[in-house]
Chain A
């Protein structure tokens, strides 16, 4: 039977196209236009060519912020993904405690970024904050305002506290979708706890883990509000990530041309890394599915 082609469905895509055009494409075009010009306001622009890009690529300030951001994202993924899986595995699958755990897990996600930053800023203070005061009482020389390592630890712990539950909820959704028959078959085969995790739970969580890794990578790579509220990018520049540096450049210094160039480079790095993550995890999942089918 010949398939009937009907292109009317394309009209339903039109609203999305318009939305994306106004929210993403037009702003991106404007940023590209700004990146090759200089402006002092008043809608007057002067051609600068590729000068801002050349300046940015040779700038130690940009290199340092980029390295900080990559290290931060790597640490966040290394902590939040395994921790999220562990918590999801430990969560009950039936009974009243399911709702309790889900609500508890969802709570940090409901708190706005700036409020999280303020909570941790107060929490970490050595004079009135529970964390800072307790650390001092234990004899640990903790001061996130003056010590770069303490500032990093505070920002990382804050992010773990805020976002691990996203990984937990995604993994939990993957876990509860596994039919009981898989576990029964594993029991009959006498599979160990590790074997059940390795050959049943982990593969079945593959798709949601991909989403979790991508979301956490992109979010942590673009992190701004929480470290800005807690440390303001300091002490020195030790927690100045790319987004903080970008805002300083665009809003603080009103260097719109260099800031636009930096935005584009930032965007390209996120695009590249997200594509690599997506491709690697997608293909790993596909290979695994092919192998399972063959077996």
Chain B
């Protein structure tokens, strides 16, 4: 099968593999501890693990965009900020 029309690159492949791995990990987590562990956090409404992953990924996308638009520093720093942000989301949201 020829996938050259999709114009794959290693960085984008790694990006999607990371996303799919995260979703798979959530599946394993759910299998190990069913129910999605709903709770009310700082946003004052109920969120499950899936919601927290969604908020982490969406927020990370905007952190990276803001980084590109506002700074000239390497995007790796933004990745670090995203990881800290995701950690905070999973802890407090």
Contact = CB atoms under 8 A, between A and B. Distances in A.
A36 B54 CA distance: 23
Interface of B is mostly: helix
A275 B7 contact: no
A166 B8 CA distance: 41
B84 interface: no
A37 interface: yes
Contact of A272 (B5, B58, B68): B58
Interface of B: 4-9, 11-12, 15-16, 45, 54, 58, 61-62, 65, 68-69, 75
B58 A265 contact: no
21 contacts: A29-B16, A30-B5, A32-B12, A32-B15, A32-B16, A33-B8, A34-B7, A36-B9, A36-B11, A39-B7, A43-B4, A47-B9, A53-B65, A57-B65, A57-B69, A58-B69, A265-B65, A268-B61, A268-B65, A275-B58, A283-B45
A279 to B, nearest CB: 7
Interface of A: 26, 29-30, 32-34, 36-37, 39, 43, 45, 47, 50, 53-54, 57-58, 265, 268, 271-272, 275, 279, 283, 286
A69 B56 CA distance: 26
Given A34-B7, A43-B5, A50-B75, 5 more contacts: A30-B7, A32-B15, A53-B65, A268-B58, A272-B58
A37 B15 CA distance: 15
Contacts of B16: 29, 32
Contacts of B8: 33
A272 B7 CA distance: 27
B65 A37 contact: no
**Closest 4 A/B residue pairs (Cβ):** A57-B69, A33-B7, A283-B45, A30-B6
Contacts, number: 51
Given A32-B12, A50-B75, A279 B45 contact: yes
Contacts of B75: 50
Nearest to B70: A57
Contacts of B45: 279, 283, 286
A36 B5 CA distance: 15
A279 B9 CA distance: 35
A218 to B, nearest CB: 16
Nearest to B7: A33
A52 to B, nearest CB: 10
Contacts of A283: 45
Contacts of B5: 30, 43
Nearest to A264: B61
B58 A36 contact: no
Contacts of B12: 29, 32-33, 36
Contacts of A39: 7
A260 to B, nearest CB: 9
A37 B62 CA distance: 20
Given A36-B9, A47-B9, A272 B62 contact: yes
A271 B58 CA distance: 8
Contacts of B4: 43
Most buried by B among A32, A47, A58, A283: A32
